[in-house]
Protein backbone atom coordinates (compact mmCIF):
# COMPACT_ATOMS: atom_id res chain seq x y z
CA UNK A 1 0.00 0.00 0.00
CA UNK A 2 1.38 3.38 -1.03
CA UNK A 3 1.00 6.13 1.56
CA UNK A 4 1.31 9.72 0.39
CA UNK A 5 2.80 12.47 2.50
CA UNK A 6 1.11 15.87 2.67
CA UNK A 7 2.06 19.23 4.17
CA UNK A 8 0.39 19.90 7.50
CA UNK A 9 2.20 23.08 8.52
CA UNK A 10 4.78 25.66 7.52
CA UNK A 11 7.08 27.48 9.93
CA UNK A 12 9.57 30.32 9.67
CA UNK A 13 12.28 28.54 11.59
CA UNK A 14 13.38 25.03 12.44
CA UNK A 15 12.89 25.40 16.19
CA UNK A 16 9.10 25.72 15.87
CA UNK A 17 9.02 22.85 13.38
CA UNK A 18 10.90 20.58 15.79
CA UNK A 19 8.48 21.45 18.59
CA UNK A 20 5.53 20.69 16.29
CA UNK A 21 7.10 17.41 15.17
CA UNK A 22 7.60 16.39 18.81
CA UNK A 23 3.94 17.16 19.65
CA UNK A 24 2.81 15.06 16.70
CA UNK A 25 5.16 12.23 17.67
CA UNK A 26 3.76 12.13 21.20
CA UNK A 27 0.35 11.53 19.62
CA UNK A 28 1.65 8.69 17.46
CA UNK A 29 1.89 10.67 14.23
CA UNK A 30 5.15 10.30 12.30
CA UNK A 31 6.13 13.64 10.81
CA UNK A 32 9.06 14.75 8.66
CA UNK A 33 10.66 18.17 8.36
CA UNK A 34 11.37 19.66 4.94
CA UNK A 35 13.59 22.74 4.68
CA UNK A 36 13.39 25.24 1.82
CA UNK A 37 16.56 26.36 0.11
CA UNK A 38 16.47 28.36 -3.12
CA UNK A 39 12.74 27.75 -3.65
CA UNK A 40 13.12 23.95 -3.34
CA UNK A 41 12.09 21.90 -0.33
CA UNK A 42 14.60 19.24 0.69
CA UNK A 43 14.81 16.97 3.68
CA UNK A 44 18.37 17.80 4.81
CA UNK A 45 19.86 21.28 4.54
CA UNK A 46 21.91 23.47 6.84
CA UNK A 47 20.98 26.69 5.00
CA UNK A 48 17.25 27.20 4.67
CA UNK A 49 14.55 29.87 4.31
CA UNK A 50 11.43 28.06 5.51
CA UNK A 51 10.39 24.80 7.11
CA UNK A 52 7.43 22.49 6.40
CA UNK A 53 6.07 19.53 8.33
CA UNK A 54 4.71 16.56 6.37
CA UNK A 55 2.60 13.65 7.59
CA UNK A 56 0.91 10.68 5.97
CA UNK A 57 -2.31 11.67 4.24
CA UNK A 58 -4.31 9.31 6.46
CA UNK A 59 -3.17 11.25 9.56
CA UNK A 60 -3.72 14.75 8.17
CA UNK A 61 -6.91 15.64 10.06
CA UNK A 62 -5.55 14.44 13.41
CA UNK A 63 -2.28 16.31 12.83
CA UNK A 64 -4.13 19.54 11.98
CA UNK A 65 -6.15 19.32 15.19
CA UNK A 66 -3.02 18.82 17.28
CA UNK A 67 -1.15 21.71 15.66
CA UNK A 68 -4.16 24.03 15.93
CA UNK A 69 -4.45 23.43 19.68
CA UNK A 70 -0.70 23.90 20.26
CA UNK A 71 0.17 26.75 17.89
CA UNK A 72 -2.94 28.92 17.48
Q: Does the structural domain 5-71 have CATH classification 1.20.920?
A: no
Name the burial class of residue 2, with classes exposed (0-12), middle (13-18) and buried (19+) by CB atoms within 10 angstroms of its CB. Answer: exposed
Does the global pTM surpass 0.85?
Answer: no
Query: Which H/E stretch holds residue 41?
Result: strand 40-42
Side by side, the strands of the sheet bearing 5-11 are: 5-11, 50-56, 31-37, 40-42
Q: For residue range 3-56, what is the model confidence (pLDDT) as tens digits?
A: 799 999 988 888 889 999 999 999 999 999 987 665 555 555 455 567 889 999
Amino acid sequence: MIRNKVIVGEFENESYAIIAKNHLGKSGIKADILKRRNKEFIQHSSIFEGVRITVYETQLEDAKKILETKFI
